[in-house]
């Protein structure tokens, strides 16, 4: 029971966080957005620390930042691992 609750909660968290990352990435295409305004600053504070980990070792090639692809891929792999734990436990 406890493992099922933990894995389902973690899977839902990863799903929501991936959606937040995608919204953050899409909004970065609009240069007029002020990232210090409340709705955008909250999104930035939630996602940028995770993205900065990948930005530190994936250089921007030609001005295009490919680090979010790697960041989302890692979360997808973690989500897949959690799903396999859920299936193995019969959830």
Calculate the CA 22 to chain-centre distance. Answer: 7
Domain ranges of the chain: 2-88
* 37-43 mean pLDDT: 92
Residue located via tokens 């396999």: 84
pLDDT band at 42 (very low <50, low <70, confident <90, very high): very high
pTM, whole model, 2 decimals?
A: 0.86
- More confidently predicted of 56 and 63: 56
- Span 13-26, pLDDT tens digits: 999 999 999 999 99
- Span 72-88, pLDDT tens digits: 999 999 999 988 887 77
What DSSP line would sit under 8-38, residue for residue? Answer: HHHHHHHHHHHHHHHHHHHHTT-TT--TTSH
């Amino acid at each position: 029971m406890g493992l099922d609750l933990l894995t389902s909660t973690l899977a839902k968290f990863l799903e929501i966080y991936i959606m937040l990352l995608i919204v953050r990435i899409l909004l970065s295409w609009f240069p007029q957005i002020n990232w210090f305004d409340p709705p955008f600053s909250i999104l930035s504070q939630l996602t940028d620390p995770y993205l900065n980990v990948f930005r530190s070792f994936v250089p921007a090639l030609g001005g295009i930042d490919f680090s979010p692809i790697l960041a989302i891929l890692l979360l997808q792999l973690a989500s897949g691992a959690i799903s396999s734990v859920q299936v193995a436990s019969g959830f």
